[in-house]
Amino acid sequence: MTFHIGAKPGEIAETVLLPGDPYRARWAAQTFLKDAVLVNEVRGMLAYTGTWKGQRVTIHGTGMGMPSLSIYVNELIRDYGAQTLIRIGSAGAMQPQVKLRDVVLGMSACTAGTPSRTIFKELHYAPTADFGLLKAAWEAGQAKGIGLHAGQIFSSDTFYDERPDLNEQMQRHGVLAVEMEAAELYTLAARYQRRALAVLTISDHLLTHEALPADQRETSFADMVDIALTAAFA
């Protein structure tokens, strides 16, 4: 047990999927895992461990934002031995070719600041995904025949943004989508020599202002979870 995770030794798998929403963790576990068991509910942050095609998997919520994710990923790696960590979550599209329900694979994640920022001082560190996971996820997505994109994403530390000028520059430089956690996940994975990737479903669009209704979000996220699981064990 740690300060924030109540799982016993051995109850967390080496492969961990990381949705922000703990209820999405429950949905994904019930939908994709066999014999899923609740292994954490400290502070309402749900985690389940089960099997997918015979492989042990944990699906653990992280909360919203990089500071929250940083707590859970640090503990999952240092105290439970997690080796492969894949964020599964929603994102807002920033390019016209990226559509609602498309899946975006984050090759790299730019950010205005992360919990790790003070470590690097004057260095502008570039957090990137594990190439093996990225390649496997791309192949899995192509096989499904869905709208699929791979490229740079933006990990924001604010949800209610007051910087339209910054959004314009990111759109100008080809940033595909905005979310709130991947940059810190990639940084921690690099620090501890682990594998990490963000597989994201587009739930809203910054250019068209379209958005998926709440009741459609879970069912639209199935492709993302399947891609993440396939990539983890490719």
Residues annotated as catalytic are 204
147 is in an annotated binding site: no
87 is in an annotated binding site: yes
64 is in an annotated binding site: no
179 is in an annotated binding site: yes
3-state secondary structure the chain: CCCCCCCCCCCCCCEEEECCCHHHHHHHHHHHCEEEEEEECHHHCCEEEEEECCEEEEEECCCCCHHHHHHHHHHHHHHHCCCEEEEEEEEEECCCCCCCCCEEEEEEEEECCCCCHHHHCCCCCCCECCHHHHHHHHHHHHHHCCCEEEEEEEECCCCCCCCHHHHHHHHHCCCCEEECCHHHHHHHHHHCCCEEEEEEEEEEECCCCCECCHHHHHHHCHHHHHHHHHHHCC
168 is in an annotated binding site: no
78 is in an annotated binding site: no
180 is in an annotated binding site: yes
174 is in an annotated binding site: no
20 is in an annotated binding site: yes
- Judge whether 57 and 85 are in contact, CB under 8 Å: no
CA distance 111 to 164: 15
117 is in an annotated binding site: no
CA distance 95 to 144: 22
204 is in an annotated binding site: yes
Q: Which residues are annotated as a binding site?
A: 4, 20, 24, 43, 87-90, 179-181, 203-204
| Binding-site residue ranges for phosphate | 20, 24, 43, 87-90
Q: Which residue ranges make up the annotated binding site for a purine D-ribonucleoside?
A: 4, 179-181, 203-204
